[in-house]
Structure 1
């Protein structure tokens, strides 16, 4: 799939109600230019899949969608096998929607935990905290090092674009010359998403959450995808009265990577991990 063809996949994701970001395409493509597959029928695109190879040992699959009139006719299965073959030898992760989880289990995936999307509203007062600064003022290498606790492979190429998307706000918290939290809020087809939201403790997560909400126009829908493994993340969405939208099962083919769930308040992407 060429870079401009990823727009087709993002449109299908929009149709499915996944609410992608307005500027996700280039970030996705930067992660792995060879990791996007398109299914054609008589020259027309009918299906898509991403299978991003972050390293020789880890990959992530997503954007597995077949246009509705062509479902149940094995078109998607061809793409699926192409993606699995591309990631052969890797521990492969994905976020499986409820309706497809049994099929993923048949393909060798094992459920690890749930990721849950919540919805609230933007607005509020920006925290009066001199430690809360624009992420652009923090050395990129330091951000990547901090991020490595939350993802099982290097994703520097992806982050370089993800953290600087047009119309997005990226904030971090520095304490004793060390990054202790960072997050990004970006515009989506509907409202905004905060993704990721990483912080060393609940108070820092709360400060960062409030700062990101206040950094964009108020009274807009905002979405946060939390990992159920973090009780502090569950407490944050409950405290702010966020409502569940839908859930996925994070699944892997080999094993669940060791990640710092207690500092993970919002994952980055259902599509790329």
Structure 2
């Protein structure tokens, strides 16, 4: 029985920092500017649970284009776990995404619970850690990208993600302290990658490319933007052998894993271009 009924409400971007602080305490290492970027994806897609005015639980339930939704940032403060508050928040999130095919990246400890709610595992995302190189890469076909390239990035991203997320990408490509690079060929964008600052080091997120050779160039271009004593992280889809090989080639070490799970049919995504996803919290 709940000690008191949980008050569940939507939260604003500034309040997202509360939940992201909990995520940092769990070792998830969120980005420094994730709150604004996440909120831009779907301003109504973030819920918080309160008891007597105190925030005790949070969840994201972001609705993207194409009837695709994503659940993440599902956290209950340790002192309030096992009391039913997490379940109440989960049910509110699922209700908000009613009618969507829903994806999530489930941590190992919660995968059984997600399976009991009807989610099926597709493959794993494994976070790998390495170090920057501090070596600038000069490559003619690698160019800097910005929010001005949103249309091209959005078209490329759509085939790798499962839903249209132009509002998220606009914020992602505009956040402070980030670096974004891509390669443009005769048929348009051939791949892109973003480096963003996190509580600890940097994440390359995402890294999408047409070929392993191009993925290597994009990775090296962003690795070179980070000092050798700073950590870098990338969330690698284990279902793409070329992505796993890239991580191994650069001696990146696995440090965390989650299972990509779907409540409905697995979307027909192109896995071959995926070398690192944008976020385990929002997909």
* TM surpasses 0.5: yes
Number of the residue aligned with 1:119: 129
The answer (yes or no) to whether the contact 2:147–2:174 under 8 Å persists in 1 is no
Does residue 281 of structure 2 align to residue 243 of structure 1? no
Does residue 174 of structure 2 align to residue 152 of structure 1? no
SS of 2:272's equivalent in the other structure is helix
Does residue 111 of structure 2 align to residue 101 of structure 1? yes
Q: Distance in 1 between the 2:128 and 2:146 partners?
A: 27
Structure-to-structure mapping, 1:1-273, within 5 angstroms: 1-55=11-65, 57-136=67-146, 139-176=149-186, 178-273=188-283
What root-mean-square deviation, in Å, do the aligned CA atoms of Structure 1 and Structure 2 show?
1.2
The answer (yes or no) to whether the contact 1:185–1:212 under 8 Å persists in 2 is yes
SS of 1:149's equivalent in the other structure is helix
Deviates more, 1:61-70 or 1:170-179: 170-179
SS of 1:22's equivalent in the other structure is coil
The answer (yes or no) to whether the contact 1:108–1:253 under 8 Å persists in 2 is yes
Q: Distance in 1 between the 2:149 and 2:281 partners?
A: 27
Q: List gaps (5 residues or longer) in structure 1.
A: none
SS of 2:161's equivalent in the other structure is coil
Q: Distance in 2 between the 1:49 and 1:198 partners?
A: 27
The answer (yes or no) to whether the contact 1:122–1:218 under 8 Å persists in 2 is yes
- Alpha-carbon distance, 1:59 to partner: 0.3
SS of 2:122's equivalent in the other structure is strand
The answer (yes or no) to whether the contact 1:198–1:264 under 8 Å persists in 2 is yes
Q: List gaps (5 residues or longer) in structure 2.
A: 1-10
SS of 1:226's equivalent in the other structure is strand
- Alpha-carbon distance, 1:37 to partner: 0.5
Scaled by the length of structure 1, what TM-score is found? 0.97
Q: 1:138 to 1:34 in 2, by over 3 A?
A: closer
- Alpha-carbon distance, 1:132 to partner: 0.8
User: How many aligned residue pairs are there?
Assistant: 273
The answer (yes or no) to whether the contact 1:56–1:89 under 8 Å persists in 2 is no
Q: 1:198 to 1:138 in 2, by over 3 A?
A: farther
Q: Distance in 2 between the 1:224 and 1:216 partners?
A: 14
